Amino acid sequence: MDIQQIRYFLALAEELHFWNTAEKMFITQSALSRQIKALEEELGVQLFERSKRSVKLTQAGAFLRDRWLPLLEEINRTHRQARKIHEGAFGSISIGYPGSVAYSFLPEVVSRVAQTLPELKVELVEPMDISFEELLLNFQIDLAIRRDPAENPALQSLCLYSEPFALIVPQGHWLTQENFTGLQDVREEKFILSGLHHRTLYVNSLRQMFKENDFTPNVYIESDFGAMILGLVARGLGITVMPSSYAFGAPPNVRFIHLPQKVNLYVTWRKDDTSAVLKNVLELVQQVAQEYKTGAGSSLLF
């Protein structure tokens, strides 16, 4: 006895007509008769009463129909679910991200995932005191959107796009995009910055930027949380330099002045991760990034 024989039995139990059932199941009438006979012989039970004019279920046949029908429906649902898992359309994915992408790029990615893979659960993780690479290597996240490429050889990175840094000042500050000539304009100002002691490509870019302008910033307040930095700038406690995409989550009383220097955004994952879910989400991440680079999202970056 196999599932296909049970399907033939249930189809015949519904139609009660061999020719109609055979046509519905895409087999010949004689083949259907053989399958039903083989099932009856294996079970030692007569399933149908047959005559030249009619086909009727026996009591044993009706009993098996009532028991097997919900079981077959459950098997079919299980098969469909397994197929979705195989195709990467069902399951979950955990994505680590920096605060700068929380206002534009990441919401667009999550929206695209929700539209394309509606049964996929997405968990978003903004690391507090642990690195993206450690989270990936410990299988605490599956994908990281970050400002630095991977250093560990077990990880793989792809650059998604570049965006300009911005000098961010309180709304009432004397400096504007029009009268700005360079960072040397604010060499005497108090800065609120991410820790310049960190050894990341992102922080290296900040240090290089100040080095090119021949001064070391007076870091009055240090924080690695962009939203906190913006709130402090809005209160007039200092100025900062961060990626321009923070403009989408900025309070209204700050001003962004775009700088010529740019910062990259990368996506990173485990090299040996063959998950179909990861493959699908990576494709969507790259799709959104490509739109940002080619024009559909360029207004979000500049």
Per DSSP bridges, beta strands 190-193 and 218-222 are parallel
251 contact partners, CB below 8 Å, separation of at least 6 = 230, 231, 234
In terms of average pLDDT, the best of 13-27, 67-81, 86-100, 120-134 is 13-27
Q: Quote the pLDDT of residue 182.
A: 93
> Smallest Cα–Cα separation from 233: which of 147, 300, 165, 173?
173
Specify the fold of 92-300. D-Maltodextrin-Binding Protein; domain 2 (3.40.190)
Q: What are the pLDDT digits (tens) for 232-260?
A: 999 999 999 999 989 988 899 999 999 99
- Classify each residue of 26-63 as buried b or exposed e, where b means 16 or more C-beta atoms within 10 Å of its C-beta: eeeeeebeebbeebbeeeeeebbeeeeeebebeeebee
Residue pLDDT, tens place only, 160-193: 999 999 999 999 999 999 999 999 999 999 999 9
How far is the CA of 3 from the CAs of 17, 86, 237, 242, in angstroms?
Answer: 20, 21, 72, 61
Domain with CATH 3.40.190.290 in the chain: 92-300
- Specify burial of residue 202 (Cβ count, 10 A radius: 0-12, 13-18, 19+): middle
Model confidence at 129, pLDDT cuts 50, 70, 90, reads low
**Domain 3-86 belongs to what architecture?**
Orthogonal Bundle (1.10)
Residues of the chain with CATH 1.10.10.10: 3-86
Q: Where are the alpha helices (DSSP H) in 129-200?
A: 132-137
Place of tokens 């989408």: 248
